[in-house]
């Protein structure tokens, strides 16, 4: 398999992915099913439906922000670090990033839901300081939410655009004459800029959308915590997509064994990062034991929520860590797929664990509303991914590092 | 939709600036690195640097002697600022050590082979920095000869460490880290020590390197075991290096102290450690390559990469500062708000503003490629970062401690000349050890640099 595509004739034959037509039918029916489930929930148990729906919406809105932004982030990461190993997977990351389009209508809907979700959006809620009252005024929060999504969306589009231009061999106009440089320049710089912007916007978004559910609670680690989840989930989604596409026969074998192994190693490393951040945050709050701080975790451990906490520990760290230590496991596509799915499920439940105790002090299992909204989001994102991959070569054929990436020449 | 047929030309692979200058061969690399110690006369600049470093070391010895005679009262520490310089310098030195392990272990795991030219002296730097760091808690004990009370040994006097104190965790974290770093460094040295053994002229020198090389013959079996041992140690060193500064950050973050108790401290301390560590790597690499004419092996690419890591970690540190401020405002805790206010305009405000200038403002110059390519600018920015990171620890420790909860317990901290003498003295200790290392051991890993040569890249077809 090594050196499979070192000649340019081979690369030229790579086209867009071919999907069976019934895949689209499947995705559309998922969306319809999602809407039906939500409707059933509304019809059968109208009491408290509104609140349940909006919390389910917030949960899935944040989860799909993490997933789609994860795609953009991984693209930008490759550009900033000039990585070679991940080039074969970049188009998949871009495909995931392209589904950020779903967030644009979603964030507008989210604005409608704000008064149903947040305690600070109630008329009788008052913050201790006037500045914080202003910060959480309806208009300012909405402005922030919309601008964050638009900024991420714009960056995502821009990365896809330069990548596709490179495919068409037009990139020369973007790159200054060779010399010392890496190929980059434009994309490297815009990716570095994105990293800085992303760090601040994503942290503030996490604070606005999740942390402010408990308006008086704060931790400086929160943005890093959600970021570590994003990184881990981004890698898991990429791994899933790469394996599924390959198993479904939609993609010829471009990526070598080593590319998958490297992706699995990254997932391994960032599962450790995830638990490191989670542990540091939890341990410091537990140890200092300030009532106003530990209350947040207390609420998320008592009344059955602790079981979910333990599940998260296993799904996001123990299982990926132990399994991926094994060299054979890292080479087994079935094992990798299961681990990646477990991590993704873990992330969804992580957000669930952050969001839901704010409305229900006792552990509740996800119901029709959560599942329904999830299916709608999933279907919509799936449509974007499929459309993107149907229209563009599924690897960045114009990237000079592609051959090296596929052959393992970077090792 | 873009039809694939439009692809016109397959672009050339990108031209990177080389990690090793063209024209090097296996023989020239071996000769270059081993002659620097075994054959060539020691450069005059080495003697000049050694004279300065040894003088500072003598000052350190003097200051420590006086300290042992008189006690820690000669330092500026007093309640409420009982921690002063000792902890500031401890954290600073430990942080500097981090870059060595990051370069040698983490970059190794990430297949970043460019690090092969700088890992050896960076690891040496780690060991010496940890040695300097270790001085401070020891001396701060007042009775350093009783340091072994920190270990949970079967004690007849019923002395048992307080395991709930992060300072005890530090003892274990730092000593484990030092042990593994030393082992990692030594294992890496073995093939090179054998080269020195084989090339040494005098018998006693041959014997000395021979003993240290532990019978290395360079057989395939040796290499196989060496490679797996090296990889395992790299895997072991990676979590250790992250845990050390995490535990150091716990010293502060577990305390109920405004400005200390913040959850972001662990990753933020680790980033700050790598930041200052890379600054020290540059401060060492730039003179070393000039002193021993190693420009062919430590190329502009190395310096640029170090600068990029510095920029990235510097941005993480900036994120930490900004969100600490944000959280103070967001949380609305009066003590936190007062602490931030006190940093901005209180009696230590000049320290805080210089810290922001050194750590946040000036390193932004590294965004410019011109600056990253300019050796002098890099050297100066690295010194600025080192100063900035020292100020950061000063601000964290002193501004939080000098304003206790009760105004009646407020105080002010000023370092005495003995504080300065011990601190600057450890710089002497550090540079003396570093210079002795340059004089006696291969400063660049011969075996690993050879892997970067084009001749080593012949693939088994």
Other beta carbons less than 10 A from residue B203's beta carbon: 9
Residues 323..382 of A with a Cβ closer than 8 Å to B: which?
A: none
List Cβ neighbours of A132 (8 Å cut-off, separation of 6 or more).
B329, B330, B332
Is B13 at the interface with chain A, CB within 8 A? Answer: yes
Chain A residue whose CA is closest to B326: A220
Picking from A4-8, B245-249, B335-339, which range would have the lowest pLDDT averaged per residue? Answer: A4-8
The domains found in chain B, sorted by start residue, are 16-456 (1.20.1630.10)
Are A171 and B11 inside 8 Å of each other by CB? yes
- Sign of the four-CA dihedral A349, A353, A355, A359: positive
Whether the predicted pLDDT of B413 surpasses 70:
yes
Residues 40..79 of A with a Cβ closer than 8 Å to B: which?
A: none
CA triple B196-B188-B445, angle to 5 deg: 60
- Chain A hits for B324, Cβ within 8 Å: 220
Residues 157..216 of B with a Cβ closer than 8 Å to A: which?
A: none
Picking from A239-243, B12-16, B121-125, B196-200, which range would have the lowest pLDDT averaged per residue? Answer: B12-16
Smallest CA–CA separation between A371 and chain B, in Å?
33
Are A288 and B1 inside 8 Å of each other by CB? no
* Residues A30, A21: Cα–Cα separation, whole Å: 15
Mean pLDDT (chain A) is 89
Distance of CA A59 to the CA centre of its chain: 13
Q: Quick one: pLDDT at residue A403?
A: 79
Are B7 and A16 inside 8 Å of each other by CB? no
Whether the predicted pLDDT of B347 surpasses 80:
yes
pLDDT band at A252 (very low <50, low <70, confident <90, very high): low
* Residues A321, A308: Cα–Cα separation, whole Å: 19
Is B6 at the interface with chain A, CB within 8 A? Answer: yes
Whether the predicted pLDDT of A180 surpasses 60:
no
- Reduced to 3 states (helix: H, G, I; strand: E, B; else coil), residue B58 is helix
- Chain A hits for B7, Cβ within 8 Å: 11-12, 167-169, 397-398
Is A12 at the interface with chain B, CB within 8 A? Answer: yes
Are B323 and A179 inside 8 Å of each other by CB? no
Is B408 at the interface with chain A, CB within 8 A? Answer: no
pLDDT band at A411 (very low <50, low <70, confident <90, very high): low
Instruction: Summarize the confidence of residues A72-92 as an average pLDDT.
Output: 91
Whether the predicted pLDDT of A4 surpasses 50:
no
pLDDT band at B237 (very low <50, low <70, confident <90, very high): very high
Closest CA to A307 of A360, A365, A228: A365
pLDDT band at B9 (very low <50, low <70, confident <90, very high): very low
* Residues B270, B313: Cα–Cα separation, whole Å: 9
Q: Quick one: pLDDT at residue B6?
A: 35
- Residue that is written with structure tokens 């890099």 in the block: B378
Q: Quick one: pLDDT at residue B10?
A: 44
Give the model confidence (pLDDT) of B20-37 as tens digits.
888 888 999 999 999 999
Are B242 and A411 inside 8 Å of each other by CB? no
Q: Quick one: pLDDT at residue B21?
A: 84
Distance of CA B132 to the CA centre of its chain: 11
Q: Quick one: pLDDT at residue A176?
A: 46
Instruction: Summarize the confidence of residues A349-358 as an average pLDDT.
Output: 95
- Chain A hits for B11, Cβ within 8 Å: 166, 169, 171, 183, 398-400
Is A219 at the interface with chain B, CB within 8 A? Answer: yes
Whether the predicted pLDDT of A333 surpasses 60:
yes
Are B267 and A224 inside 8 Å of each other by CB? yes
List Cβ neighbours of B114 (8 Å cut-off, separation of 6 or more).
B19, B301, B302, B305, B452
Q: Quick one: pLDDT at residue A168?
A: 74
Q: Quick one: pLDDT at residue B16?
A: 62
List Cβ neighbours of A283 (8 Å cut-off, separation of 6 or more).
none
Whether the predicted pLDDT of A181 surpasses 70:
no
- Chain B hits for A164, Cβ within 8 Å: 2
Q: Quick one: pLDDT at residue A393?
A: 86
Q: Quick one: pLDDT at residue B376?
A: 96
- Chain B hits for A397, Cβ within 8 Å: 4, 7
Q: Are A285 and A260 in contact (CB under 8 A)?
A: no
What's the DSSP call for residue B81?
A: B
- Chain A hits for B266, Cβ within 8 Å: 276-277, 280, 284
- Residue that is written with structure tokens 């296996």 in the block: B26
pLDDT band at A47 (very low <50, low <70, confident <90, very high): confident
pLDDT band at B459 (very low <50, low <70, confident <90, very high): low
**% of chain A residues with pLDDT over 70:** 91
Are A132 and B264 inside 8 Å of each other by CB? no
Are B4 and A8 inside 8 Å of each other by CB? no
The complex's ipTM works out to: 0.91
Are B319 and A276 inside 8 Å of each other by CB? no
Q: Are A403 and A409 in contact (CB under 8 A)?
A: yes
> For the residues of B239-265, what is the DSSP string, one character each?
HHHHHHHHHHHHHHHTS--TTT--TTH
Are A392 and B2 inside 8 Å of each other by CB? yes
- Note the helical H segments in B346-416: 349-356, 369-372, 375-394, 400-402
* Residues A389, B18: Cα–Cα separation, whole Å: 36
Whether the predicted pLDDT of B421 surpasses 70:
yes
- Note the helical H segments in B118-219: 119-140, 166-199, 203-213
Q: Quick one: pLDDT at residue B1?
A: 36
Angle between helix axes A87-98 and A368-391 (nearest 10 degrees) is: 130
Is B262 at the interface with chain A, CB within 8 A? Answer: yes
Whether the predicted pLDDT of A175 surpasses 60:
no
Q: Quick one: pLDDT at residue B451?
A: 87
Q: Are A208 and A218 in contact (CB under 8 A)?
A: no
* Residues A254, A178: Cα–Cα separation, whole Å: 28
Residue from the list A12, A223, A284 with its beta carbon closest to the beta carbon of B253 = A284
Are B11 and A276 inside 8 Å of each other by CB? no
Give the model confidence (pLDDT) of A122-136 as tens digits.
988 988 888 999 999
- Sign of the four-CA dihedral A394, A398, A399, A400: positive
Q: Are A224 and B264 in contact (CB under 8 A)?
A: yes
Are A8 and B10 inside 8 Å of each other by CB? yes
Residues 115..154 of B with a Cβ closer than 8 Å to A: which?
A: none
Give the model confidence (pLDDT) of A199-232 as tens digits.
999 999 999 999 999 998 999 999 999 999 999 9
Closest CA to A235 of A350, A60, A63, A96: A96
Is B458 at the interface with chain A, CB within 8 A? Answer: no
Give the model confidence (pLDDT) of B206-219 as tens digits.
999 999 999 999 99
Q: Quick one: pLDDT at residue B282?
A: 96
Instruction: Summarize the confidence of residues B88-115 as an average pLDDT.
Output: 91
Return the number of CB contacts < 8 Å for A and B: 125
Mutate to test the interface with B, among A160, A196, A220, A395 (most CBs of B within 10 A): A220
* Residues A408, A2: Cα–Cα separation, whole Å: 7
Instruction: Summarize the confidence of residues A334-344 as an average pLDDT.
Output: 96
Mean pLDDT (chain B) is 90
Is A174 at the interface with chain B, CB within 8 A? Answer: no
Is B329 at the interface with chain A, CB within 8 A? Answer: yes
Other beta carbons less than 10 A from residue A4's beta carbon: 15
Q: Are B242 and B101 in contact (CB under 8 A)?
A: no
What's the DSSP call for residue B359?
A: I
**% of chain B residues with pLDDT over 90:** 73
Angle between helix axes A222-247 and A186-209 (nearest 10 degrees) is: 120
Q: Are B41 and B361 in contact (CB under 8 A)?
A: no
- Chain A hits for B264, Cβ within 8 Å: 219-221, 224
What does pTM read for this prediction? 0.92
- Note the helical H segments in A327-393: 327-331, 333-355, 368-391
List Cβ neighbours of B2 (8 Å cut-off, separation of 6 or more).
A164, A167, A168, A391, A392
pLDDT band at A11 (very low <50, low <70, confident <90, very high): low
* Residues B97, B100: Cα–Cα separation, whole Å: 6
Give the model confidence (pLDDT) of A20-37 as tens digits.
888 899 999 999 999 999
Q: Are A404 and A55 in contact (CB under 8 A)?
A: no
- Chain B hits for A404, Cβ within 8 Å: 13
Chain A residue whose CA is closest to B259: A220
Q: Quick one: pLDDT at residue A402?
A: 82
Select, from the ranges A7-16, A48-57, B22-31, the one with the highest average predicted confidence (pLDDT): A48-57
Nearest 5°: phi and psi at B183? -65, -45
* Residues A404, A254: Cα–Cα separation, whole Å: 11
- Chain B hits for A200, Cβ within 8 Å: 319, 322
> For the residues of A231-296, what is the DSSP string, one character each?
HHHHHHHHHHHHHHHHHTTSS-S-S-HHHHHHHHHHHHHHHHHHHHHHHHHHHHHHHH--HHHHHH
Give the model confidence (pLDDT) of B130-152 as tens digits.
999 999 999 998 889 988 888 88
């Amino acid at each position: 398999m090594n050196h499979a595509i070192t000649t340019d004739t081979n690369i030229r034959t790579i086209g867009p992915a071919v999907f069976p037509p019934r895949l689209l039918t499947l995705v559309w029916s998922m969306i319809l099913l999602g809407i039906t489930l939500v409707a059933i929930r509304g019809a059968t148990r109208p009491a408290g439906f509104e609140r349940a729906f909006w919390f389910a919406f917030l949960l899935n809105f944040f989860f799909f922000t993490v997933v789609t932004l994860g795609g953009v982030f991984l693209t930008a990461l490759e550009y900033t670090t000039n990585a070679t190993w991940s080039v074969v997977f970049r188009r998949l990351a871009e495909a995931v990033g392209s589904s950020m389009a779903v967030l644009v209508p979603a964030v507008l809907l989210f604005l409608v839901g704000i008064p149903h979700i947040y305690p600070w959006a109630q008329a009788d809620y008052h913050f201790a300081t006037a500045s914080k009252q202003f910060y959480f005024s309806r208009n300012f929060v909405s402005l922030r939410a919309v601008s964050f999504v638009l900024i991420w969306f714009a960056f995502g589009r821009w990365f896809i655009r330069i990548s596709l231009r490179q495919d068409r061999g037009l990139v020369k106009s973007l790159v200054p004459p060779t010399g010392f440089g890496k190929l980059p320049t434009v994309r490297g710089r815009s990716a570095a800029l994105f990293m800085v912007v992303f760090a601040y916007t994503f942290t503030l978004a996490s604070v606005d959308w999740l942390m402010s559910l408990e308006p008086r609670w704060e931790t400086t680690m929160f943005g890093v915590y959600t970021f570590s989840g994003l990184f881990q989930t981004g890698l898991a989604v990429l791994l899933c997509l790469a394996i599924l596409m390959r198993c479904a026969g939609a993609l010829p074998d471009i990526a070598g064994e080593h590319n998958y192994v490297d992706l699995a190693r990254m997932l391994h490393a960032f599962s450790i990062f995830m638990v490191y951040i989670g542990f540091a945050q939890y341990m410091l709050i537990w140890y200092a034991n300030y009532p106003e701080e530990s209350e947040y975790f207390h609420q998320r451990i008592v009344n059955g929520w602790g079981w979910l906490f333990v599940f998260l520990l296993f799904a996001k760290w123990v299982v990926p860590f132990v399994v991926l230590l094994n060299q054979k496991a890292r080479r087994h596509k079935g094992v990798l797929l299961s681990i990646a799915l477990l991590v993704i499920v873990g992330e969804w439940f992580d957000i669930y664990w952050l969001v839901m105790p704010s409305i229900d002090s006792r552990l509740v299992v996800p119901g029709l509303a959560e599942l329904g909204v999830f299916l709608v989001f999933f279907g919509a994102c799936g449509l974007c991914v499929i459309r993107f991959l149907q229209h563009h070569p599924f690897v960045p054929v114009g990237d000079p590092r592609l051959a090296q990436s596929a052959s393992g020449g970077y090792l | 939709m873009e039809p694939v047929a439009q692809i016109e030309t397959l672009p050339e692979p990108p031209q990177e600036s080389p990690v090793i200058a063209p024209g090097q061969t296996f023989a020239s690399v071996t000769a270059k690195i081993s002659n620097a110690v075994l054959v060539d006369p020691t450069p005059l600049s080495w003697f000049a640097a050694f004279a300065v470093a040894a003088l500072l070391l003598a000052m350190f010895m003097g200051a420590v002697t006086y300290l042992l005679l008189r006690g820690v009262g000669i330092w500026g520490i007093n309640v409420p600022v009982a921690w002063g310089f000792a902890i500031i310098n401890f954290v600073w030195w430990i942080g500097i050590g981090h870059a060595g392990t990051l370069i040698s272990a983490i970059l190794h795991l990430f297949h970043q082979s460019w690090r092969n030219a700088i890992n050896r002296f960076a690891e040496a730097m780690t060991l010496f920095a940890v040695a300097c760091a270790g001085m401070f808690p020891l001396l701060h004990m007042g009775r350093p000869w009783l340091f072994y009370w920190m270990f949970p040994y079967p004690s007849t006097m019923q002395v048992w460490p307080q395991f709930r104190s992060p300072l005890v965790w530090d003892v274990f974290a730092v000593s484990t880290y030092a042990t593994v770093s030393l082992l990692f460094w030594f294992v890496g040295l073995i093939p090179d020590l054998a080269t020195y053994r084989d090339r040494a002229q005098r018998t006693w020198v041959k014997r000395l390197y021979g003993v240290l090389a532990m019978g290395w013959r360079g057989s395939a079996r040796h290499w196989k075991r060496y490679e797996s041992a090296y990889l395992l140690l790299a895997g072991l060193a990676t979590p250790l290096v992250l845990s050390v500064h995490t535990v150091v950050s716990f010293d502060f973050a577990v305390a109920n102290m405004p400005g200390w108790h913040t959850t972001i401290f662990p990753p933020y301390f680790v980033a700050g450690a790598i930041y200052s560590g890379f600054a020290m790597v540059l401060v060492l690499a730039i003179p070393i390559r000039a002193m021993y004419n190693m420009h062919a092996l430590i190329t502009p690419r190395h310096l640029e990469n170090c600068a990029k890591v510095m920029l990235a970690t510097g941005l993480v540190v900036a994120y930490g500062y900004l969100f600490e401020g944000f959280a103070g405002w967001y949380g609305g805790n009066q003590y936190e708000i007062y602490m931030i206010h006190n940093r901005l305009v209180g009696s230590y405000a000049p320290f805080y503003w210089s810290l922001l200038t050194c750590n946040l403002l000036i390193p932004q110059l590294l965004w410019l490629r011109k600056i990253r390519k300019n050796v002098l600018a890099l050297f100066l920015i690295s010194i600025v970062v080192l100063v900035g990171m020292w100020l950061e620890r000063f601000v964290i420790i002193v501004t939080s401690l000098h304003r206790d909860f009760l105004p009646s317990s407020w105080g002010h901290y000023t370092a005495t000349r003995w504080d300065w003498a011990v601190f600057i003295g450890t710089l002497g200790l550090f540079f003396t050890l570093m210079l002795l290392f340059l004089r006696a051991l291969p400063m660049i890993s011969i075996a690993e640099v050879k892997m970067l040569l084009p001749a080593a890249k012949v693939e088994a077809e």
